[in-house]
Amino acid sequence: MKRLLALLAACVTALGLTGLLGPQAVAGPRAVAAAGCRVDYTVTSQWQGGFQAGVKITNLGAPVSGWTLTFALPDASQKIVQGWNATWSQSGSAVTATALDWNRTLATGAAADLGFTGSFTGANPKPTAFALNGVPCTGSVEEPPPTTPGDGTPVGVNGRLHVCGVHLCNQYNRPVQLRGMSTHGIQWFSKCYNTASLDALAKNWKSDLLRIAMYVQEDGYETDPAGFTGRVNGLVDMAEARGMYAVIDFHTLTPGDPNYNLDRAKTFFASVAARNAGKKNVIYEIANEPNGVSWTAVKSYAEQVIPVIRAADPDAVIIVGTRGWSSLGVSDGSNESEVVNNPVNATNIMYAFHFYAASHKDAYRAAVSRAASQLPLFVSEFGTVSATGGGTLDRASTTAWLDLLDQLKISYANWTYSDAPESSAAFRPGTCDGGDYSSSGVLTESGTLLKSRISTPDSFPTS
């Protein structure tokens, strides 16, 4: 539905997802010394012979323009395999991570989140001797405490979710509604998803979820499967640390037949499901917006991908895209009956419905109202403007939609938590170059409206 102009791909070069490259300086001003820093190192996942780690750098000194982080791997068998949010290199036990263009500046108190996957054959001790631009990072190197039940966050209160009847239900078997935001394509807007922006989303916006839009085409997953998989896993961890749910969106759009990406989907979901199976906050969305294809073809795709996820993660909720850009077929002249009469042969699943308020009005709302009594629905993407992602915000239609979703307890994610040059974006262009993601000065009209709706209390039932 939303369409980013093709020229954006040429204008935005910071992917935030890098392979293992040799030592290389980032173009631009010469790096300046850091006056002090803290590094938090977290092993987010470990398996036989491999692991994934997150590295959070916090600048405690004067502002830094350009940075290089160095550290030592204490076991000779430890090797960096793939890294993201920096240019990574390794020589013996010495590891170097150099800033990318979009995250090269660290203000005092600002942080950068990096990560990598590694291999090992012996022990897997923590790295030592962290230094930022040659200055030792003397802050503690600790793993943050995990989110625990009862901490007041959405995940802490609700725990692992499941489908009960036509509702999304929490650990108390009570229907809940999650409200949150979707990223834009992480290949274009990685700079919008960092410590500051996710802190703002969780604490100031009080969002319940982050939908992670990983495009498959359009310079996405197909260009670097390992890198994009790592970046998605990193964002899952960042959402988990803040008590938010993470919707892993396999963002297929062009071509519209999800079967075109069937093999890629099986590979991707086998990997992320195995890695995230122990987490309570993960929801899988297996095909963003099928279009130009029959419901039978979409159903066939779903029934081949779902078992791959279930083999590793048998209990997670899975969202299945629907025909006509996930409109339950309405945008193709059909309606919800095709899904009602021929549902996917799987349990613990929901069906996606997408809308753009200025383009999709009463007929679409009527379809959702009818379908909600027969199908578990999840509005995994919607916009306040037209289906192009642009035009004027339609406040009346958006309000009517959100009131309906609240009434039906249907969860939703808004497109988009980004500073894209389109009116559907929550932030004004250039916002992601700074550190403010909440004040009225950085929000668009759409962002202001969504923040006001999402930040109202959830009142999740616990008995």
* pLDDT tens profile 255-314: 999 999 999 999 999 999 999 999 999 999 999 999 999 999 999 999 999 999 999 999
Chain position carrying tokens 């725990």? 159
pLDDT in tens, 43-99: 876 777 888 788 888 888 788 889 999 999 988 889 998 887 789 999 999 999 998
Mean pLDDT value across residues 408-429: 97
The rounded mean pLDDT for the chain is 88
Judged against a pLDDT cut of 60, whether residue 180 lies above it is answered with yes
Residues taking part in catalysis? 289, 381
The class of domain 15-136 in CATH terms is: mainly beta
Residues 6+ positions from 149 with CB-CB distance below 8 Å: 156, 157, 159
Answer for the pair 133, 64: CB distance below 8 angstroms, yes or no.
yes
Q: Give the model's pLDDT for residue 339.
A: 97
pLDDT band at 17 (very low <50, low <70, confident <90, very high): very low
Flag the least confident range among 62-76, 157-171, 347-361.
62-76
Distance CA 259, CA 168 (A): 27
Judged against a pLDDT cut of 70, whether residue 15 lies above it is answered with no
pLDDT band at 387 (very low <50, low <70, confident <90, very high): very high
Answer for the pair 88, 97: CB distance below 8 angstroms, yes or no.
yes
Q: Give the model's pLDDT for residue 444.
A: 97
Mean pLDDT value across residues 355-359: 97
Strand partners, 47: 50
pTM of the predicted model over 0.85: no
User: Computed from CA positions of residues 424, 425, 426, 430, in that sequence, does the dihedral angle turn out positive or negative?
Assistant: negative
Q: Give the model's pLDDT for residue 249.
A: 98
Q: Which two tokens stand for residue 283?
A: 């929801």
Which SS3 state, helix, strand or coil, does residue 321 take?
A: coil
Flag the least confident range among 13-17, 263-267, 446-450.
13-17
Judged against a pLDDT cut of 90, whether residue 398 lies above it is answered with yes
User: How do the domains of the chain map onto residue ranges?
Assistant: 15-136, 152-454
pLDDT band at 376 (very low <50, low <70, confident <90, very high): very high
Distance CA 122, CA 49 (A): 8
pLDDT band at 197 (very low <50, low <70, confident <90, very high): very high
pLDDT in tens, 274-291: 999 999 999 999 999 999
Mean pLDDT value across residues 351-365: 97
Judged against a pLDDT cut of 60, whether residue 404 lies above it is answered with yes
Judged against a pLDDT cut of 60, whether residue 24 lies above it is answered with no
Q: Give the model's pLDDT for residue 35.
A: 56
Q: Give the model's pLDDT for residue 411.
A: 98
Which SS3 state, helix, strand or coil, does residue 368 take?
A: helix
Q: For strands 282-285 and 318-320, give the pairing.
A: parallel
Answer for the pair 334, 323: CB distance below 8 angstroms, yes or no.
yes
pLDDT in tens, 99-158: 887 778 887 777 888 888 888 887 788 898 999 988 888 764 444 444 444 679 999 999
Q: Give the model's pLDDT for residue 12.
A: 37
Mean pLDDT value across residues 337-341: 97
Q: Give the model's pLDDT for residue 139.
A: 62
Superfamily of domain 152-454: Glycosidases (3.20.20.80)
Judged against a pLDDT cut of 50, whether residue 457 lies above it is answered with yes
- What DSSP character marks residue 424? T
Judged against a pLDDT cut of 70, whether residue 20 lies above it is answered with no
Q: What is the dihedral of CA 187, 189, 194, 198, to 10 degrees?
A: -110
Judged against a pLDDT cut of 60, whether residue 41 lies above it is answered with yes
Tell me whether domains 15-136 and 152-454 share a fold.
no
Whose CA is closest to 56, among 143, 170, 172, 179? 143
Distance CA 409, CA 325 (A): 22
- What DSSP character marks residue 173? S
Whose CA is closest to 266, among 293, 296, 229? 229
Q: What percent of the chain has pLDDT over 90?
A: 71
Residues 6+ positions from 45 with CB-CB distance below 8 Å: 51, 52, 233, 275, 276
Q: Give the model's pLDDT for residue 7.
A: 36
DSSP codes, 39-97 = EEEEEEEEETTEEEEEEEEEE-SS-EES-EEEEE-SSTT-EEEEEESSEEEEETTEEEE
Chain position carrying tokens 């070069």? 13
Answer for the pair 379, 353: CB distance below 8 angstroms, yes or no.
yes
Whose CA is closest to 16, among 110, 114, 82? 114
Flag the least confident range among 19-23, 383-387, 421-425.
19-23
Judged against a pLDDT cut of 60, whether residue 14 lies above it is answered with no
Answer for the pair 215, 225: CB distance below 8 angstroms, yes or no.
no
- Could you tell me how far CA 116 lies from the centroid of its own chain? 17
Distance CA 401, CA 410 (A): 11
Judged against a pLDDT cut of 50, whether residue 437 lies above it is answered with yes
Mean pLDDT value across residues 421-445: 95
